[in-house]
Amino acid sequence: MLVDKSHAPRKRFGQNFLHDANIIAKIGKSINPKDTDHMVEIGPGQAALTAEVADHVGKMEVIEIDRDLVPRLLERFSNHHDFTLHECDALKFDFASLNIEGQPYRLIGNLPYNISSPLIFHILESGANISDMTFMLQKEVVDRMCAPPGSKTYGRLSVMVQYYCSAHRLFIVPPGAFYPPPKVDSAIVRLEPHAERALSNNEEEKAMSELVAAAFSQRRKTIRNTLKKWLSADEIEACGIEPSERAEAISVAGFIRLTQAYLAK
C-alpha cells in the first residue's frame, strides 16, 4: 500500500502511517471482522486498517483528530452503507456514547505512542460496552500490559489492564512497516474485557487505581511504606500479603483484596 506523502505526518498527533500490505492483511486476519460487527477505530489516519475491515462489518465508526484527513476519509468511505466519522480527540471522546441498545462493539486502532497509556486508561474507565480491543502499540507498552507479577515490566499499567481484561500479545510489527518508521518495534495486543469484575462500581475501581498508583510510586520501597496512608501492616497481612513485599510481587487479585480492605475501613 502506498502512503499519500502529500499529507505530512504530524508529530503532535503521533502519526506513523501503516503501509506494509502483508502486515495490514495479518492485522485484519487477527481482527477477523464479521458482517454483524459494530467496529470502532481510533486514529484511522490514511485508512490502511479501515479499508481492510470496513467492507466486512455491519457498522464502521472512526475517531480522527486530524481535520485535514477528515474530508479524505469521508470521501473514501462515502459508499459504505453505515460509516460514521467523529472528528475529535480520542482522549476526550465519550466511548460509552457508542453503546447502542446495549449491544457491544469492537475497538481497533494504531494508537499514538505519545498518549497510549492515558488513552488505554480512559477507555477502560469509560464504562463502554466493548466486546474486544485489538491495538497496535509500542512493543514496550504491550509488554508492560501483559507482564506477570514479579517481572521488571510489571507495574500499574499491567495491574489495571489485567483487572479489566485478559491481555495477549499477538505479534511484533517492525519499524519498516510504517511511514515514517518509528525508532522502536510495535506490537499487536488483544484485550478481552472480563464478563464480571471484582469491584462493583466506578468509585471502587477509581480507589483501586489510586491505591495501585501509590503502591508503584516508589518501586524500591515495600508496600508497608508506600501504602501506609491506606492500610496498616496488620491490615495488609490480613489480606494474605506480606507487608515487606514490593508492589511488583503482588498479583492483580492481591491488589483487589487490598482495595477491598481499604474500602471496608
Please give the average per-residue pLDDT across 112-131, as a whole number. Answer: 90
The label of the residue with cell 494508537 reads 111
Q: Is the pLDDT of residue 171 over 60?
A: yes
Q: Distance between CA atoms of 96 and 129, rounded to whole angstroms? A: 7
Using pLDDT thresholds of 50, 70 and 90, give the confidence band for residue 180.
Answer: confident
Residue-wise pLDDT for 52-83, tens only, equals 999 999 999 999 998 889 999 999 999 988 99
Residue-wise pLDDT for 194-212, tens only, equals 999 999 888 999 999 999 9
Residue-wise pLDDT for 12-32, tens only, equals 545 577 889 999 999 999 999
- Count the helix, strand and coil residues of the chain and give each as a percent rounded to the nearest 5: 40, 20, 40
pLDDT recorded at residue 59: 95
Q: Is the pLDDT of residue 11 over 60?
A: no
Q: Distance between CA atoms of 120 and 138, rounded to whole angstroms? A: 13
pLDDT recorded at residue 14: 55
Q: And the C-alpha cell for 146?
A: 501483559
pLDDT recorded at residue 179: 76
pLDDT recorded at residue 5: 56
Using pLDDT thresholds of 50, 70 and 90, give the confidence band for residue 6.
Answer: low
Using pLDDT thresholds of 50, 70 and 90, give the confidence band for residue 182.
Answer: confident
Please give the average per-residue pLDDT across 163-177, as a whole number. Answer: 95
Q: Distance between CA atoms of 12 and 27, rounded to whole angstroms? A: 25
- How would you classify the pairing of strands 130-138 and 186-193? antiparallel
Could you give phi then psi for residue 182, rounded to 5 degrees? -70, 170
Q: And the C-alpha cell for 103?
A: 449491544
Distance (Å) of CA 94 to CA 38, 63, 119, 174, 179? 16, 11, 12, 32, 30
Q: Global pTM?
A: 0.90
Give the largest CA-CA distance in the chain.
64
Using pLDDT thresholds of 50, 70 and 90, give the confidence band for residue 143.
Answer: very high
Q: And the C-alpha cell for 216?
A: 508503584
The label of the residue with cell 480527540 reads 89
Query: Is the Cα torsion angle 117, 170, 104, 28 positive or negative in sign?
Result: positive
pLDDT recorded at residue 101: 74
Q: Distance between CA atoms of 2 and 50, rounded to whole angstroms? A: 15
Query: Is the Cα torsion angle 131, 171, 90, 83 positive or negative in sign?
Result: negative
pLDDT recorded at residue 128: 83
Burial label, 3 (beta-carbon count in 10 A; 0-12, 13-18, 19+): middle
Domains and CATH numbers, the chain: 11-193 (3.40.50.150), 202-264 (1.10.8.100)
Full DSSP string of 178-224: EESPPSS-EEEEEEEE-SS-SS-SHHHHHHHHHHHHHHTTTTTSBHH
pLDDT recorded at residue 15: 56
Distance (Å) of CA 29 to CA 61, 93, 236? 19, 27, 45
- How would you classify the pairing of strands 17-18 and 105-110? unpaired
